[in-house]
Structure 1
Amino acid sequence: MKIGLDTPVGLVGLGNMGTGVAENLLKKGFRLTVHQRSEKVRRWTRGKSGVLLTRSLRELGSVSKVVLILVTDNQALNEVLYATEGVLSGIRPKSLIIDMTTGDPALAVENHQRLATMGLHMLEAPMTGGATGAREGTLLLMVGGNRKLCRDCQPLFSAIARKVVYAGGPGAGQTIKLLQNQLSFSLFLSTCEALWVGKALGFEESLLIDVFQNSNARSYETELRFPKFILPKNFQSGAAIRTAYKDLKLITDLESRLGIRLPLATQVRKYWEAAMSRMGAEADFTRVYELVKGEKELKALGTNWQK
């Protein structure tokens, strides 16, 4: 499948991640079709060359050879694809669907098979790098599906990502993305705990992050997430608590079905459950750091966890 700047590309999901992806595709010269689902989308398209605005997902599918989908979860993905007026109701045979949503690997396999029976191609390409990576075009894509299709998509992927990893067949991209998130969220919470204790011992947060970043404890958390979103107290990473919890639930449920129960992963999931309860599902997930605001809460944390 030949993909180049003359390939009609549709994009569904102009949220925190999708907007950055769309902007970079336009910068690299791709023509883009989007669905006028909201006033936000209509405002975004104003004054932009190379953008076609459609009234329905059916129409978007009919004018696109490749459709990128960046939505929040599997339920939203199913609605975009399979609704009566969804993308698949108008798409042409041999077109390509690229699912960039982080979701259930089993459902990814099912979607690959279902679309193949309709004469369509599919890749899953969940991403990491956050809204910042989407804006800067420095995402990491983890691709599952046909290897040749992955190679064919390099002109498209290179417009939005610094690195593309071919993970394997259907479902592999989603699986490795969930494992990456499990590790990432564990590192985030380990950093939170170190800072909570460090503050209780009288150290400044900025000093602690400086030490961690310049030692063997350095990570994405100490390099970017804490300095940019937590120490300034803006808590605007662009990812909601519910989204992080969704991913943690998917991977821990998968591990449980395999008969694997990982104590650390289970505790990380409990942190997010507590944050959902106290802060609400739509709060930025960096606000998990605010679960402990003082020494009293810190001392109560371990006791509450044992209960």
Structure 2
Amino acid sequence: MTIMITENTTIGFVGTGVMGKSMARNLQHAGYTINVYTRTKEKAKELMEHGASWKETAKELAATSDVIITMVGYPSDVEEVYFGENGILENAKENSYVIDMTTSKPSLAIEIYEQALKKNIASLDAPVSGGDTGAKNGTLAIMVGGKQEAFEALRPLFEVLGDNIVLQGEAGSGQYTKLANQITIANNMVGVCEAIAFARKSGLQPERVLDSISTGAAASFSLSNLAPRMLKGDYAPGFYVKHFIKDMNIALESAKELGLMTPGLELSLNLYKELAEKGESNSGTQALIKLFM
């Protein structure tokens, strides 16, 4: 790859939702020129007010950017922006980079990598964990799949977005790692909700219980960051229920392909589906506590 990452590098960012907007904003703070495209232009308003250039299509964004980052909702959205005559791969510059940071299917990450390679474009799959707080603070965990050369070239951008950045292996490895992450969270969220419900039922003050258990062997991101939101009745999305269901479905599908039993994942998925059926699809994942109250 001949394009070097410098202060003059133009980054195209596709998807400015709960996390994507903060990630793009951090890149702006770091001095990078940003092109932005998203289905709803209003969501890019803040970025545009700080100098981002709006592009009407993914095609236009790809043709005018050195690095293209996508952070969209579902694998179908990834396919839509990457493939076809109006897609990123057909229109990106030769020797540019594409980074899909959406949590998506490992097989799709491999397909993007293979198609990009034919056009002399470097591709990395780099899903993230850390929620809205990690995106705002630039402290995301970034799990990367792809070639070492591309990873090293793009490290300056990753270091703006996160502080736990690991190349896991070849294309698709980042997605497999993120699915392992989501399996862990899925099981943990059920345990957090059960612990809070148990504390209340036994007459304890849940806030004091959290003070005791959140720094011991039970410690976790969900316990420290989401349990307090549960107790406050704050269900605003740091990560949407509907997107977590999507992730768990992909993880379950991948586990079955690998011949692996995941009973905890199946239980959590069923509970979140029940939560969504109660109208909580657009709530944060911490809304699971509502099933236990």
TM range (shorter): over 0.9
Residue 11 of structure 1 corresponds to 13
Residue 119 of structure 2 corresponds to 118
- Across the aligned residues of Structure 1 and Structure 2, the Cα RMSD in angstroms comes to 1.6
Tell me how far 1:103 sits from its aligned partner: 0.7
AA at the equivalent of 2:203: G
What is the alpha-carbon distance in structure 1 between the residues aligned to residue 278 and residue 43 of structure 2? 32
Tell me how far 1:265 sits from its aligned partner: 2.2
Deviation track 1:207-262 (CA, whole Å, cap 9, x = no partner) reads 221121132212112221112x2121111242111111111111122111222212
Tell me how far 1:38 sits from its aligned partner: 2.7
Identity %: 26
Secondary structure of 1:158's match?
Answer: helix
AA at the equivalent of 2:248: L
Unaligned 5+ runs, structure 2 = none
Residue 53 of structure 2 corresponds to 52
Residue 25 of structure 1 corresponds to 27
Residue 298 of structure 1 corresponds to none
Residue 68 of structure 1 corresponds to 69
Q: What is the TM-score normalised by the length of structure 1?
A: 0.90
Contact 1:45 1:53 in 2 (8 A): no
Unaligned 5+ runs, structure 1 = 294-307
What is the alpha-carbon distance in structure 2 between the residues aligned to residue 18 and residue 48 of structure 1? 15
Count of aligned pairs between the two proteins: 291
Cα distance change, pair 213–71 in 1 and its aligned pair in 2 (3 A): same
Residue 287 of structure 1 corresponds to 287
Residue 165 of structure 1 corresponds to 166
AA at the equivalent of 2:196: L
Residue 262 of structure 1 corresponds to 262
Higher CA-based Rg = 1
Deviation track 1:47-103 (CA, whole Å, cap 9, x = no partner) reads 313x22222221111110110000011100111112443333432212111000001
Q: What is the TM-score normalised by the length of structure 2?
A: 0.94
Deviation track 1:110-168 (CA, whole Å, cap 9, x = no partner) reads 11112212222100110011011111111110000001110111111111111211100
Tell me how far 1:290 sits from its aligned partner: 0.4
What is the alpha-carbon distance in structure 1 between the residues aligned to residue 29 and residue 159 of structure 2? 12
What is the alpha-carbon distance in structure 2 between the residues aligned to residue 71 and residue 165 of structure 1? 21
Tell me how far 1:43 sits from its aligned partner: 2.3
Contact 2:94 2:119 in 1 (8 A): yes
Matched, 1:149 2:150: yes
Secondary structure of 2:120's match?
Answer: coil
Contact 2:16 2:38 in 1 (8 A): no
